[in-house]
Structure 1
Amino acid sequence: MYDAFLLLSFGGPEHPDEVLPFLHNVTRGRGVPPERLAEVAEHYLRFGGVSPINEQCRELVAAIRADFAANALDLPVYWGNRNWRPMLADTLAQMRDHGIERAVALATSAYGSYSSCRQYLQDISSARAAVGPRAPLVDKLRHFHDHPGFVEPFADAVTAALSTLDATQHETTRLVFTAHSIPVAMAETAGPTGGRYEAQLRETGRLVAERGAPGLAWDLVWQSRSGAPHVPWLEPDVNDHLETLAKEGVTQVVVSPIGFVSDHLEVLWDLDEEAAATARRLGLGFARAGTPGADPRFVAMVRDLVLERMAPGGRERTALGRLEHWDVCASNCCPPPVRSNREGTR
């Protein structure tokens, strides 16, 4: 049924000169003010103008290739990005030249919403149109928010982070899960996936907390908001939430970015820089839990999802959660939001 595997990701700059061109790709058509782009560019330049996401994708691609080979899954592995090299259209052109006709793809987002799911389907369609009539067909794999290979690395990371804090303050310690904020209109879209993004994240949070910090109180909050102030986005922001927790008598926090599959720049800046600084100012103990990255369990999950899709007549879904699920998104899932002409950058 398939003759290749494709990893789909967001992309990121790898040199200071690439930062602004990359951000222009991300925000094209959204009317983002130049001052907002300059502000976000500074975040990248603080890290030498290099986002770690591309190197993390290279590590994941190498791990997937090794796992496929070790388990006799004979699929070549390709990688293409939404916003920076290797661009998806270039990757599909390469696949076409290699004789690939149909690929199965994993997007580096576990959840359902326009930006984390539907937009990747649109990216595939646009890239295929750019490549032309012989462009490979590409089928996107399902959401994986409750797959053990996604949940268990987070749970172990939470346990490890918790062990670095003062055990005598366990009663006043809180587990804080974070994910990328999105416009409320996007989160509450009508149709079969209405409210799916937050519901899936809450289920992931529950599954991770039960395994990584049983009995510890936890919250789901948001980070990386970037839209215009008049556009409602999911709240509270993680920094505002830390303020609230400190007033409630919480003395320590473990922050786990369950909305992300790797420690890319939004995790490093929004949590390791800004949230950690907020915690220091408030006198809160702070530990940030890691993400799956190229954890062998996450890599094995990729293979499991591919085999699940390839099985004749389908097979039982590997899942820990209880939410309704589907293998292929309906045509009306996760419609795009109505954007203002001052919508910000993701």
Structure 2
Amino acid sequence: MNSSEDFDALLYLSFGGPEGHEEVRPFLENVTRGRDVPPERLDEVAEHYHHFGGVSPINRLNRDIMGSLDSTIAERGWDLPIYFGNRNWHPMIEDTVERMAADGVRKALVFATSAWGGYSGCRQYHEDIARARAAVGEDRAPELVKLRQFYDHPLFIAANADAVTRAYAQLPAESRSAARLVFTAHSVPLSAEEKVGPDGRAHWYSRQVHETARLVAEAVGVADYDVVWQSRSGPPSVPWLEPDVCDHLDQLHGRDVPAVVISPIGFVSDHLEVVWDLDNEAADKASELGMGFARAATAGTDPRYARMIGELVSEHLEDHRVRKLSPLVEAGCTTNGQFCIAQGCC
């Protein structure tokens, strides 16, 4: 059996977001570096952030989750200080790993705030880990062990299912039974979907998203639902996963659907893509079409989310059994960003 003495800390690794007007453009340039995103697209997205004072909600939400997680860790009696690092904005992972090394951390677990496989949701986090360790120096940097994907963890599914149920309750009773359940996740280029997963099949990211949607819909008791995409970027000539959520609302209107419940299961907390693309653009589109609209909460604010992270940690500290609801395999735990890439899972 492993012991908590094997690990000195937990690194909470996320995407990052600006916390002031002056940070918006540098942040977006970090996010899109090397992706050939047109400057006018950056200007457009920057306006979304400026609409909210230049502040993304992601850092605050992550700090709230870390507060809940700290309580979960304390309740379990583990001595695991939590460090916070980001891919694209401060606190940058390189700085955080440097601080961990200075604090004497030698071996830490890493929780990345993505439930999914695929490049951006999985492999890029391994690259972040490897880059940060290289920046600090292999001889000084702590060993970093990334926790597994959690798209089908029972607590993640339950939190999303209850959020969908609450969203249905927001609709008028007369339109509730005919409302269409629509799941959304961040679109990715179709080229990224060509990567082969651990089971030898491609479309790893979208298959996991569809599986989560199936499990949540089943828990809610909805047999017929849709999975659509949002927040695409990049040049228009590059094909991405479709349909876009707003285009899909047009299609539903053409079928006389009176109302929709939108569940952003592709996001673990209310990132700017959620509050802008759904709470503004999609909600406005539904209003324009005369459709009822309710948006389900993301899982990160649910107490079960922190408990789920605790279970993922306990798989290492206490040999806790792996709990999953899907027959699909997921990327296992990886050390220093190497194992997952070698296995080709994303």
Using structure 1 for the length normalisation, give the TM-score.
0.92
1:84 aligns with one of 79, 82, 89:
89
Match of 2:40 in 1: 35
Q: Is 1:230 paired with 2:214?
A: no
Match of 2:154 in 1: 148
| Displacement after TM superposition at 1:316 (Å) | 2.8
| Displacement after TM superposition at 1:187 (Å) | 1.5
Task: Tell me the amino acid that sits aligned with residue 46 of structure 1.
Answer: H
Q: Percent identity?
A: 55
Q: Is 1:316 paired with 2:321?
A: yes
Q: Is 1:172 paired with 2:178?
A: yes
Match of 1:194 in 2: 202
Q: Deviations over 1:78-106 (max 9, x none)?
A: 11000001000100011001100111111
2:300 aligns with one of 290, 293, 296:
293
| Displacement after TM superposition at 1:197 (Å) | 0.9
2-structure distance, mates of 1:96, 1:203:
39
Q: Deviations over 1:257-301 (max 9, x none)?
A: 000000110000000000001101111100000001242111011
SS of the residue corresponding to residue 10 of structure 2 reads strand
Q: Deviations over 1:48-82 (max 9, x none)?
A: 00000000111111111111001112211111000
1:332–1:326 distance in 2 versus 1, CA, 3 Å: closer
1-structure distance, mates of 2:286, 2:223:
19
Match of 1:264 in 2: 271
Query: Is the contact between residue 37 and residue 233 of structure 2 (CA under 8 Å) also seen in structure 1?
Result: no
Query: Is the contact between residue 172 and residue 249 of structure 1 (CA under 8 Å) also seen in structure 2?
Result: no
Query: Is the contact between residue 196 and residue 204 of structure 2 (CA under 8 Å) also seen in structure 1?
Result: no
| Displacement after TM superposition at 1:196 (Å) | 1.6
| Displacement after TM superposition at 1:209 (Å) | 1.2
Task: Tell me the amino acid that sits aligned with residue 342 of structure 2.
Answer: S
| Displacement after TM superposition at 1:326 (Å) | 4.4
Match of 2:216 in 1: 208
Q: Is 1:131 paired with 2:126?
A: no
After TM superposition, list the pairs within 5 Å mapping 1:102-141 onto structure 2.
102-132=107-137, 133-141=139-147
| Displacement after TM superposition at 1:14 (Å) | 0.3
What value does the CA root-mean-square deviation take over the aligned residues?
A: 1.4
Match of 1:282 in 2: 289
Query: Is the contact between residue 223 and residue 237 of structure 1 (CA under 8 Å) also seen in structure 2?
Result: yes
Q: Which runs of 5 or more residues in structure 2 are unaligned?
A: 1-5, 334-339
Query: Is the contact between residue 2 and residue 103 of structure 1 (CA under 8 Å) also seen in structure 2?
Result: yes
Using structure 2 for the length normalisation, give the TM-score.
0.92
Task: Tell me the amino acid that sits aligned with residue 175 of structure 1.
Answer: L
Match of 2:55 in 1: 50
SS of the residue corresponding to residue 138 of structure 1 reads strand
Match of 2:22 in 1: 17
Query: Is the contact between residue 118 and residue 333 of structure 1 (CA under 8 Å) also seen in structure 2?
Result: no
Task: Tell me the amino acid that sits aligned with residue 203 of structure 1.
Answer: E
Task: Tell me the amino acid that sits aligned with residue 54 of structure 2.
Answer: G
Query: Is the contact between residue 114 and residue 268 of structure 2 (CA under 8 Å) also seen in structure 1?
Result: yes
SS of the residue corresponding to residue 190 of structure 1 reads coil
